[in-house]
Amino acid sequence: MSKDILQLTAVELLARYRDKSLSPVEAASAMLDQIERIDTHTNGFCLVDRDTTLGLASESEQRYQNGETRGLLDGVPVAVKDVFLTPMWPTLKGSKTVDPASTLNKSAPATAALSRHGYVPIGKTTTPEMGWKGVTDNPIDGATNNPWNPEKTAGGSSGGSGVAVALGMAPLALGTDAGGSIRIPAGFCGIVGLKPSFGEVPHWPASPFGTLAHAGPMTWTVEDCALMMNVLSEADHRDTNAVPRRNIDYLANLKKGVKGLKIGFSPNLGYVDVDPEIEASIAEAAEVFEQLGAEVIRVDPGFSDPLAAFGHLFYGGAANAMRDLGPKKRELMDPQLVAVAEKASRLSMLDYLGAVNESMALRERMATFHQKYDLLLTPTLPLTAFDTGREVPVDWPSTRWPTWTPFTYPFNMTGQPGLAVPCGFDSNNMPISLQLVGARFNDALVLQAGYAYQQAAPLTDRRPSLFSA
């Protein structure tokens, strides 16, 4: 019975709660048991508090019995990346420099919205220190491993959330993405992850990575992703970068399909070396969109690799976040984070503003691209998951993580929505993922296309062997 519960999506859980064939306490208990049983292999969670979780599940169960349910997610377990403030649990961001007590009794916009809708927090998920890199390990918790092969990385920085969803520890999870940190672990772990348009999901306190940083959902299905967006996109006055609320129902048009859409298909952006197995899988995905009635045109968006500018913006943010930390605290931190921040601290103001200029030019380029194309289809990643505990693959020509994720960070610079959807497996049984990018604030269309693809080519019945180990 518990394995059946773990397979259920949030939409399915809610239906079972409503018809009284399953209770929120039963669901939360099954997922807590799953964490206890197998997370020793993956290290997806940095905090689990069974009593608090079951207490909140019991309150939800009582609401169902009384016919007084709360919002859109009452009783649904959600895994919370440990960068989001939760009033009952400390938020350490994987860092020994954070005072746990200083983070209590506060909610982030995302967790406040989830609470208004009756969610059951299942625990806090592991992140690299301050969410600074595309893999997940930190000085407190160690490395987070891939659910399909624990000798490989789960990706990052929302690696713990990716593990939680893939292994049925929660149907929904929160992630953040300033350079790919939702889409990378979604791709490596074989789940769905949406980086919403910048400002679409309120986020507070402001990220050290500024306008690169987005908060968003990580789920097993695109439908659950849309459902979660209906909650996360609610207004919160604390995020002064948030766009005015448009009150979009992301589920409303989800099933309209892709017939008549014009999709630009760029398997390598014109400059990326892509693993041949991934290239073949993405080409097959493009054919699926054609079969569904979309017009798919092979075209590159026409920009060169903005890696250097991204590095100035991203690592400049890390340096800013650490500006008040003295030598003693820096000794407690990930040495590589300290190294990139200290290097970035030597950038000139004109270096930084030059990167801002490049980011603005890239935004203009993509805004023009979307005058002609509804969506851009690319791989999410040019490679599958590599050895765990490393920032880059063995024998990689660079020492820094953004060099192996060239399909993600450009769209943090532009603020566009980017959706990662599973589209296959390589010969080592590791997940392959496609990315759908839309015009800014066209998140609903990105989800609509992702849903159409997932209905036509579902991989949702295939879980990692560890799921049932």
DSSP result, 397-429: S-SSGGGG-TTTTHHHHHT--EEEEEEEE-TTS
**In terms of DSSP H, where are the helices of 196-263?**
222-232
Among 6, 41, 52, 55, CA closest to 27: 6
Is residue 69 over pLDDT 60?
yes
> Domain spanning 2-468 has what CATH number?
3.90.1300.10
Is residue 437 over pLDDT 60?
yes
Summarize the confidence of residues 163-186 as an average pLDDT: 98
Tokens for 279, please give them.
Answer: 């290239």
- Do residues 109 and 7 lie in contact, with contact meaning Cβ atoms separated by under 8 Å? no
Q: At 274, is the secondary structure helix, strand, or coil?
A: coil
**In terms of DSSP H, where are the helices of 276-348?**
276-291, 307-321, 327-330, 335-344
Summarize the confidence of residues 137-163 as an average pLDDT: 98
Is 96 tagged catalytic? no
Gyration radius of the chain's alpha carbons: 20
Share of the chain above pLDDT 90, in %: 99
Q: Considering Cα of 252, then 257, then 261, then 265, what sign does the dihedral take?
A: positive
Q: How far is it, in rounded angstroms, from Cα 218 to Cα 444?
A: 16
Is 81 tagged catalytic? yes
Is 23 tagged catalytic? no
- Say what the pLDDT of residue 1 is: 57
Residue 333: DSSP 8-state: S
Is residue 2 over pLDDT 90?
no
Q: How far is CA 178 from CA 122, 183, 351, in A?
A: 24, 10, 20
C-alpha dihedral (439, 444, 447, 453), degrees to nearest 10: -90
Q: How far is it, in rounded angstroms, from Cα 121 to Cα 14?
A: 16
- Do residues 24 and 17 lie in contact, with contact meaning Cβ atoms separated by under 8 Å? yes
Summarize the confidence of residues 357-386 as an average pLDDT: 98
Catalytic residue among 115, 158, 161, 181: 181
Q: How far is it, in rounded angstroms, from Cα 113 to Cα 72?
A: 10
Q: What is the mean pLDDT of the chain?
A: 97
User: Where residue 441 falls among pLDDT bands split at 50, 70, 90?
Assistant: very high
Q: Which residues pair with 276 in a beta bridge?
A: none
Catalytic residue among 60, 95, 107, 157: 157
**24-42 helix and 159-166 helix, angle to the nearest 10 degrees:** 120
Tokens for 96, please give them.
Answer: 């020994």
- Say what the pLDDT of residue 221 is: 98
Is residue 269 over pLDDT 60?
yes
Which residue type occupies 20?
Answer: K
Which residues contact residue 87 at a Cβ distance below 8 angstroms, ignoring those fewer than 6 apart? Answer: 104, 105, 106, 107, 111
* pTM metric for this prediction: 0.98
Summarize the confidence of residues 253-281 as an average pLDDT: 98
- Say what the pLDDT of residue 135 is: 98
pLDDT digits (tens, 9 = 90+) for 5-62: 999 999 999 999 999 999 999 999 999 999 999 999 999 999 999 999 999 999 999 9
Among 294, 279, 453, 306, CA closest to 379: 279
Q: How far is it, in rounded angstroms, from Cα 464 to Cα 425?
A: 12
- Do residues 118 and 73 lie in contact, with contact meaning Cβ atoms separated by under 8 Å? yes
- Do residues 341 and 325 lie in contact, with contact meaning Cβ atoms separated by under 8 Å? no
Q: How far is it, in rounded angstroms, from Cα 427 to Cα 439?
A: 34
Is residue 106 over pLDDT 90?
yes
pLDDT digits (tens, 9 = 90+) for 323-336: 999 999 999 999 99
Q: How far is it, in rounded angstroms, from Cα 404 to Cα 358?
A: 21
Catalytic residue among 23, 60, 81, 95: 81
